[in-house]
Amino acid sequence: MRTVLGIETSCDETAAAVVIEGRQVISNIIASQMEFHRPYGGVVPEIASRQHLEAMADVVACAVAETGFDGLDGIAVTYGPGLVGALLVGLSYAKALSLALDVPLVGVHHIEGHLFSTVFEYGDWDYPALALIVSGGHTDLFYLPAALTYERLGHTRDDAAGEAYDKTARRLGLGYPGGPILDRLAQTGRAEAAPLVYRPPLIPDAPYDFSFSGLKTAVLRYIREQQIVPLPEGLTRDAILAQAPDNIRHLAASFQQAVVNTLVGVLERAIVAYRPRVVLTGGGVVCNSALRQALAELAERMGVGIRIPHPKYTTDNAAMIAAAGYAHLVRGERHNWSLEPAPSLRL
């Protein structure tokens, strides 16, 4: 087992990648469907499935351009969690390829993929480890006592952090997705100029759970009280960056500070309790400039290793799926044709 093709279609990216020995990325092709979903302010499941169908064959052909299909030793595919129709496209394609090429197939949990997104830049990690995955669909904290062993310590009780970004952005007329634009605006605002009535929640008996609904309410109240007027729909990113008034910039900074404090607060509590050798991070929100800085500072202060992957590996991609799949394939793990999409799969 050497060369693995990864396929990822759980949400709105059609992705395929070829990775050698779980580490060396030969190709990492991502066809984003963002422009098709943008008019609706979020991912539309039916559109996602159709776009995956349109893009799948070309994306895989690009990914294997160097190795050829004959150079593949195994296929790893995301089989959950995610949108069922979207997962089905990648899974069906992967099964068919596996059958045609007579190479083994393994299904990968999408979040396990995110955990492996640090391996390309940092290599293998030590145990015990903690992992914080923060995306549009997930905000999860895991404890990893040993290889391929995951204990979920906490998760979000309501919105994922990325979802909180997206919803806040929509309220302010900043378009979709909200994370990147709020991140940029926050860099030009002052958090203390837009004080939110909000404290990171400590949920009784669930010290590692997250919640962002209180923050959402605080933002809404602030918008109403301060009579903040959203930007008109349909502005380009550059126009938003040029035209956004100061009150929106300050609110972006204040909101971002609250999200970062919530995430880092829970992680710090877990580091104290579990004393990991290293903290792995991943998911689209880990592209965030303030979060990256806060995570690095926390790790330094706590004397623990931290892995913050390059943005091209933090958002959804298939290289991470190939890397995670490789770890299972080398152990002889296989799935057969009965593998089905599992929209609510737990790790």
Instruction: Please report, for the chain, how many H helices and E strands are present, in that order.
Output: 13, 10
Q: Which of 104, 284, 309, 341 binds ligand KG4 (CB under 6 A)?
A: 284
Maximum Cα–Cα distance across the chain: 63
Q: Choose the contact partner of 113 out of ligand KG4, Zn ion, none; CB within 5 to 8 A by kind.
A: none
* Spatial separation of the C-alpha atoms in residues 153 and 113, rounded to whole Å: 18
178 is a site residue for ligand KG4 (CB under 6 A): yes
Find, among 282, 279, 280, the residue nearest to 310 by Cα. 282
- Least CB distance to ligand KG4 at residue 330 (A): 26
Number of residues that bind ligand KG4 (CB under 6 A): 19
3 vs 135 by CB, closer to Zn ion: 135
137 is a site residue for ligand KG4 (CB under 6 A): yes
108 is a site residue for ligand KG4 (CB under 6 A): no
Candidate segments 97-105, 174-182, 201-209, 233-241, binder of ligand KG4 by CB under 6 A: 174-182
**Interaction site with Zn ion (CB under 5 A):** 135, 316
Q: Provide the b/e sequence for 63-81 (b: ≥16 CB within 10 Å).
A: bbeebeeeebbbbbbbbbb
162 is a site residue for ligand KG4 (CB under 6 A): yes
Q: Which of 64, 264, 285, 322 binds ligand KG4 (CB under 6 A)?
A: 285
3 vs 139 by CB, closer to Zn ion: 139
- Whether 73 has a binding-site annotation, put simply, is no
Find, among 104, 123, 82, 98, the residue nearest to 1 by Cα. 104
* Spatial separation of the C-alpha atoms in residues 9 and 60, rounded to whole Å: 12
Contact 29, 312 (CB under 8 A): no
Neighbour count for residue 92 (Cβ, 10 Å)? 15
Q: What tokens were used for 231?
A: 């930007």
Q: Which of 166, 267, 304, 345 binds ligand KG4 (CB under 6 A)?
A: 166
Name residues contacting ligand KG4, limited to 71-100 (CB under 6 A): none
- Whether 114 has a binding-site annotation, put simply, is yes
* Spatial separation of the C-alpha atoms in residues 199 and 263, rounded to whole Å: 12
- Whether 134 has a binding-site annotation, put simply, is yes
- Whether 133 has a binding-site annotation, put simply, is yes
Please, where are the H alpha helices in the chain?
Answer: 34-37, 45-63, 84-101, 110-115, 119-122, 161-171, 178-186, 213-225, 237-243, 246-274, 289-302, 311-314, 319-329
Candidate segments 150-158, 203-211, 282-290, 298-306, binder of ligand KG4 by CB under 6 A: 282-290
* Spatial separation of the C-alpha atoms in residues 146 and 128, rounded to whole Å: 6
Which chain residues interact with ligand KG4 by CB under 6 A? 11, 135-137, 162, 165-166, 177-180, 183, 283-285, 287-288, 315-316
Binding residues: 110, 114, 133-137, 166, 179, 183, 288, 316
Binding residues for substrate: 133-137, 166, 179, 183, 288
